[in-house]
Protein backbone atom coordinates (compact mmCIF):
# COMPACT_ATOMS: atom_id res chain seq x y z
CA UNK A 1 0.00 0.00 0.00
CA UNK A 2 1.00 3.61 -0.60
CA UNK A 3 2.87 4.78 2.50
CA UNK A 4 4.37 1.39 3.28
CA UNK A 5 6.96 -0.93 1.80
CA UNK A 6 7.50 -4.62 2.43
CA UNK A 7 10.31 -5.40 4.83
CA UNK A 8 13.04 -7.41 3.05
CA UNK A 9 13.91 -9.19 6.31
CA UNK A 10 10.38 -10.52 6.84
CA UNK A 11 8.31 -11.68 3.88
CA UNK A 12 4.92 -10.54 5.18
CA UNK A 13 5.69 -7.55 7.39
CA UNK A 14 5.44 -3.96 6.23
CA UNK A 15 7.51 -1.00 7.33
CA UNK A 16 6.78 2.70 6.98
CA UNK A 17 8.07 4.26 3.77
CA UNK A 18 9.69 7.57 4.79
CA UNK A 19 8.97 9.13 1.37
CA UNK A 20 5.24 8.38 1.03
CA UNK A 21 4.05 8.06 4.65
CA UNK A 22 3.94 11.86 5.17
CA UNK A 23 1.73 12.13 2.06
CA UNK A 24 -0.82 9.72 3.56
CA UNK A 25 -0.78 11.64 6.85
CA UNK A 26 -1.24 14.91 4.96
CA UNK A 27 -4.23 13.46 3.06
CA UNK A 28 -5.94 12.57 6.34
CA UNK A 29 -5.02 15.92 7.91
CA UNK A 30 -6.42 17.88 4.95
CA UNK A 31 -9.59 15.79 4.78
CA UNK A 32 -10.30 16.11 8.48
CA UNK A 33 -9.74 19.87 8.26
CA UNK A 34 -12.56 20.18 5.73
CA UNK A 35 -11.07 19.77 2.25
CA UNK A 36 -12.94 17.63 -0.27
CA UNK A 37 -11.24 14.71 -2.01
CA UNK A 38 -10.99 16.45 -5.39
CA UNK A 39 -9.41 19.53 -3.77
CA UNK A 40 -6.87 17.33 -1.95
CA UNK A 41 -6.04 15.64 -5.26
CA UNK A 42 -5.41 19.04 -6.87
CA UNK A 43 -3.19 20.14 -3.97
CA UNK A 44 -1.07 16.97 -4.21
CA UNK A 45 -0.78 17.31 -7.99
CA UNK A 46 0.31 20.96 -7.66
CA UNK A 47 3.02 19.91 -5.18
CA UNK A 48 4.33 17.43 -7.81
CA UNK A 49 3.86 14.46 -5.48
CA UNK A 50 3.71 11.30 -7.60
CA UNK A 51 0.40 9.43 -7.36
CA UNK A 52 0.44 5.77 -6.24
CA UNK A 53 0.65 4.33 -9.76
CA UNK A 54 3.53 6.53 -10.85
CA UNK A 55 5.35 5.89 -7.58
CA UNK A 56 5.09 2.11 -8.09
CA UNK A 57 6.49 2.45 -11.62
CA UNK A 58 9.34 4.64 -10.34
CA UNK A 59 10.17 2.02 -7.70
CA UNK A 60 10.39 -0.69 -10.40
CA UNK A 61 7.07 -2.49 -9.93
CA UNK A 62 5.26 -3.56 -13.08
CA UNK A 63 1.94 -1.89 -13.75
CA UNK A 64 -0.18 -4.36 -15.72
CA UNK A 65 -3.37 -2.37 -15.89
CA UNK A 66 -3.88 0.94 -17.65
CA UNK A 67 -0.93 3.33 -17.69
CA UNK A 68 -0.60 5.31 -14.48
CA UNK A 69 -1.76 8.93 -14.45
CA UNK A 70 0.60 11.83 -13.86
CA UNK A 71 -1.92 13.44 -11.51
CA UNK A 72 -3.81 12.53 -8.37
CA UNK A 73 -7.48 11.68 -8.70
CA UNK A 74 -10.21 12.01 -6.11
CA UNK A 75 -10.69 8.23 -6.33
CA UNK A 76 -7.07 7.63 -5.27
CA UNK A 77 -7.53 9.95 -2.31
CA UNK A 78 -10.84 8.27 -1.39
CA UNK A 79 -9.24 4.80 -1.52
CA UNK A 80 -6.47 5.92 0.81
CA UNK A 81 -9.06 7.39 3.21
CA UNK A 82 -11.00 4.10 3.22
CA UNK A 83 -8.08 1.67 3.53
CA UNK A 84 -7.78 0.14 7.04
CA UNK A 85 -4.10 -0.67 6.44
CA UNK A 86 -3.24 2.83 7.69
CA UNK A 87 -4.41 2.04 11.24
CA UNK A 88 -2.21 -1.07 11.43
CA UNK A 89 -4.74 -3.65 10.24
CA UNK A 90 -3.93 -6.07 7.45
CA UNK A 91 -6.57 -7.79 5.32
CA UNK A 92 -5.30 -11.24 4.40
CA UNK A 93 -6.03 -12.16 0.80
CA UNK A 94 -4.97 -15.28 -1.04
CA UNK A 95 -3.37 -14.08 -4.30
CA UNK A 96 -4.67 -14.93 -7.74
CA UNK A 97 -3.23 -18.27 -8.82
CA UNK A 98 -4.30 -21.45 -10.63
CA UNK A 99 -7.18 -23.28 -8.93
CA UNK A 100 -5.18 -26.34 -7.88
CA UNK A 101 -2.46 -24.19 -6.26
CA UNK A 102 -5.09 -21.98 -4.62
CA UNK A 103 -6.78 -25.02 -3.02
CA UNK A 104 -3.41 -26.17 -1.73
CA UNK A 105 -2.59 -22.70 -0.33
CA UNK A 106 -5.99 -22.48 1.37
CA UNK A 107 -5.48 -25.93 2.92
CA UNK A 108 -2.02 -25.02 4.25
CA UNK A 109 -3.04 -21.79 6.02
CA UNK A 110 -5.28 -21.38 9.04
CA UNK A 111 -6.23 -17.82 8.06
CA UNK A 112 -9.27 -17.51 5.80
CA UNK A 113 -9.18 -15.10 2.86
CA UNK A 114 -10.65 -11.73 3.82
CA UNK A 115 -9.67 -12.01 7.50
CA UNK A 116 -8.51 -8.84 9.23
CA UNK A 117 -5.31 -9.14 11.23
CA UNK A 118 -5.26 -6.28 13.72
CA UNK A 119 -2.05 -4.56 14.92
CA UNK A 120 -0.12 -6.20 12.10
CA UNK A 121 2.25 -3.29 11.45
CA UNK A 122 3.00 0.27 12.55
CA UNK A 123 -0.04 2.53 12.01
CA UNK A 124 0.28 5.85 10.18
CA UNK A 125 -3.08 7.22 11.36
CA UNK A 126 -4.89 6.98 14.67
CA UNK A 127 -8.01 4.85 14.78
CA UNK A 128 -10.12 7.87 15.77
CA UNK A 129 -8.96 9.85 12.73
CA UNK A 130 -9.67 6.90 10.43
CA UNK A 131 -13.18 6.38 11.83
CA UNK A 132 -13.94 10.13 11.64
CA UNK A 133 -12.81 10.20 8.00
CA UNK A 134 -15.01 7.16 7.28
CA UNK A 135 -18.06 8.85 8.82
CA UNK A 136 -17.42 12.03 6.81
CA UNK A 137 -17.02 10.03 3.58
CA UNK A 138 -20.32 8.21 4.14
CA UNK A 139 -22.12 11.49 4.94
CA UNK A 140 -20.74 13.18 1.81
CA UNK A 141 -21.73 10.19 -0.30
CA UNK A 142 -25.26 10.22 1.11
CA UNK A 143 -25.61 13.98 0.50
CA UNK A 144 -24.35 13.54 -3.05
CA UNK A 145 -26.92 10.81 -3.79
CA UNK A 146 -29.75 12.86 -2.26
CA UNK A 147 -28.71 15.92 -4.26
CA UNK A 148 -28.52 13.90 -7.47
CA UNK A 149 -31.91 12.28 -6.82
CA UNK A 150 -33.48 15.70 -6.21
CA UNK A 151 -31.93 17.10 -9.40
CA UNK A 152 -33.18 14.14 -11.43
CA UNK A 153 -36.75 14.56 -10.21
CA UNK A 154 -36.71 18.31 -10.96
CA UNK A 155 -35.24 17.90 -14.44
CA UNK A 156 -37.82 15.40 -15.66
CA UNK A 157 -39.54 16.84 -18.68
CA UNK A 158 -43.15 16.49 -19.54
CA UNK A 159 -43.78 13.78 -22.11
CA UNK A 160 -43.37 15.03 -25.66
CA UNK A 161 -45.91 14.52 -28.40
CA UNK A 162 -45.75 11.05 -29.92
CA UNK A 163 -45.55 12.18 -33.54
CA UNK A 164 -43.36 15.25 -33.07
CA UNK A 165 -40.98 15.67 -36.04
CA UNK A 166 -42.42 12.53 -37.64
CA UNK A 167 -45.33 14.16 -39.50
CA UNK A 168 -44.57 16.61 -42.31
CA UNK A 169 -46.72 19.11 -44.13
CA UNK A 170 -47.42 17.95 -47.70
CA UNK A 171 -47.32 21.53 -49.01
CA UNK A 172 -44.25 23.10 -47.38
CA UNK A 173 -42.46 19.87 -46.23
CA UNK A 174 -41.85 21.27 -42.72
CA UNK A 175 -42.18 19.16 -39.63
CA UNK A 176 -45.48 19.61 -37.86
CA UNK A 177 -45.27 20.27 -34.16
CA UNK A 178 -47.82 19.83 -31.44
CA UNK A 179 -48.51 22.88 -29.32
CA UNK A 180 -50.06 22.21 -25.93
CA UNK A 181 -52.32 24.92 -24.58
CA UNK A 182 -53.93 24.75 -21.19
CA UNK A 183 -57.65 25.28 -21.48
CA UNK A 184 -59.97 25.96 -18.56
110 close to 57: Cβ distance less than 8 angstroms: no
- Measured CA to CA, the distance from residue 144 to residue 39 in angstroms comes to 16
The pLDDT score that the predictor gives to residue 64 is: 64
Q: How far is CA 131 from the centre of its chain?
A: 17
Q: Which residues pair with 117 in a beta bridge?
A: 90
Nearest in space to 6 (alpha carbons), one of 71, 85, 118: 85
Question: Using CB atoms within 10 A of its CB, is residue 72 exposed (0-12), middle (13-18) or buried (19+)?
Answer: buried
Grouped pLDDT means (10 residues each) for the chain, 184 residues: 77 79 92 91 91 77 65 89 84 59 56 63 87 90 84 62 68 70 54
Distance of alpha carbon 110 from alpha carbon 154, whole angstroms: 54
Predicted TM-score (pTM) of the model is 0.66
Amino acid sequence: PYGYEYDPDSCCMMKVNPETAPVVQEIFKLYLSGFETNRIARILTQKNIPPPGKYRIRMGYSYQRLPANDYWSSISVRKILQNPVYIGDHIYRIPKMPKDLKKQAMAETTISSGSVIQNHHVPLISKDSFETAGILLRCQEQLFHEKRKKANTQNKKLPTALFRNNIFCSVCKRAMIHVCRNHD
